[in-house]
Amino acid sequence: MTLPGIPLLLQSIVSGILIGGVYGLVAIGLTLIFGVMKIINFAHGSFMMLGMFTTYWLYVLLGIDPYLSLLLTIPLLFLFGLLVERFLIDKILDAPEHNQLLLTLGISLVIENLALFLWSPNFRTIDVSYANKATTLGPVMISFPKVVAFVFAIFLTTVLYYFLKNTDLGKAIRAASEEKEGALTVGINLKKIYYIAFGIGTACVGAAGTVAAPFFYVSPQVGGVFVITAFVVVVLGGMGNFLGALIGGLIIGLAESVGAAIIPGQLKQFIIYFIFILVLLFKPAGLFGKANA
């Protein structure tokens, strides 16, 4: 272990918080789907990859700015998630958990292998002018695309929070996640709530992919990098807890980044799993309990 100097520490804190916002957004999609449907979506990472590739190709083929492409990736991924739920996930909602696991894992394998086949395993980057743009604040360098990603993640989370809190459809989604029979008795169509929630979850992770694309590599297997982290975040924040996922994302981002400054080399993933195990041992319902936001 090495003790980092103050500047390095500050730098890692800032970087950690910024990437933590993206982790939060990925995790929010996952936790929303889990909260409503009690399904662990192992295809989440492949959805993120689709978001990234959509942005990549829109940029390469049509010259559409990555941030502008959000206007397309969000509705496209929403629709994609909706269809996946409607025609695949819907069939196994009452099936035993291992069948659900096999299906979502299977979906991710199909999507990733299709991506490998179509686009090769190469790492690609989006060479927008602002990809490496940064400002310095004292000893700390602040990357422009990471700030945008962070701000956007917070913004989307806020919009979603407002939607769940204040609209009838949002309330119906919360109702369905709390009490299914109660939801049925007031006339909520659970099948519809499921595909909408799954669509929203997919749109969230797709949007996270889009805003990460300017500063991260794009490849068929990139989703796994984020999603393993997101699983930890979801457990940390409390399964199904919306705000818990955002705060959990920030905590994991910080822990990972500061940990990397303290512990050398490849050990930084160790920090995340260490936190994961601690949470499972001592606070299995997550830091913020099981309650829905």
Partner 1 sequence: MFLLKVNNIDVFYGDAQVLHQVSLTVREKEIITIVGVNGAGKSTLLKTIGGILKAANGEIWFMDDRIDLLPSHQIVDKGLIRIPEGRKIFPTMTVLENLELGSYLPKAKVKRSESLEKVFDLFPVLKDREKQSSGTLSGGEQQMLAIGRGLMSLPKLLMLDEPSLGLAPLLVKQIFNTVREINVQGTTILLVEQNVFNALDMAAEGYVLENGRIVLEGKSQDLLTDEYIKEAYLGV
Which residues in this chain contact partner 1 in the complex, by CB under 8 A? 168, 171-172, 174-175, 178-179, 181-189, 191, 291-292
116 vs 287, which CB is nearer to partner 1?
287
119 vs 163, which CB is nearer to partner 1?
163
7 vs 289, which CB is nearer to partner 1?
289
> Could you tell me the smallest distance in angstroms from the CB atom of residue 155 to partner 1?
25
> Could you tell me the smallest distance in angstroms from the CB atom of residue 35 to partner 1?
11
Going from the C-alpha of 279 to that of each of 113, 187, 233, 287, the distances in angstroms are 33, 38, 10, 8
2 vs 185, which CB is nearer to partner 1?
185
> Could you tell me the smallest distance in angstroms from the CB atom of residue 169 to partner 1?
9
Bridge partner list, 169:
none
Specify whether the CB–CB gap between 183 and 172 falls below 8 A.
Answer: yes
76 vs 183, which CB is nearer to partner 1?
183
Give exposure, 201-232, as e/b (b: 16+ Cβ within 10 Å): bbbbbbbbbbbbbbbbebbbebbbbbbebbbb
> Could you tell me the smallest distance in angstroms from the CB atom of residue 187 to partner 1?
3
> Could you tell me the smallest distance in angstroms from the CB atom of residue 185 to partner 1?
5
Specify whether the CB–CB gap between 111 and 49 falls below 8 A.
Answer: yes
Q: What whole-number distance in Å separates Cα of residue 290 and Cα of residue 127?
A: 42
Please name the residue ranges forming H helices in the chain: 6-37, 44-62, 70-87, 97-119, 144-166, 168-178, 180-185, 190-212, 222-237, 242-262, 268-282
> Could you tell me the smallest distance in angstroms from the CB atom of residue 191 to partner 1?
8
Residue whose tokens read 């069939």: 91
175 vs 232, which CB is nearer to partner 1?
175
Specify whether the CB–CB gap between 206 and 73 falls below 8 A.
Answer: yes
> Could you tell me the smallest distance in angstroms from the CB atom of residue 168 to partner 1?
6
* SS3 state at 289: coil
Q: What whole-number distance in Å separates Cα of residue 40 and Cα of residue 38?
A: 7
68 vs 291, which CB is nearer to partner 1?
291
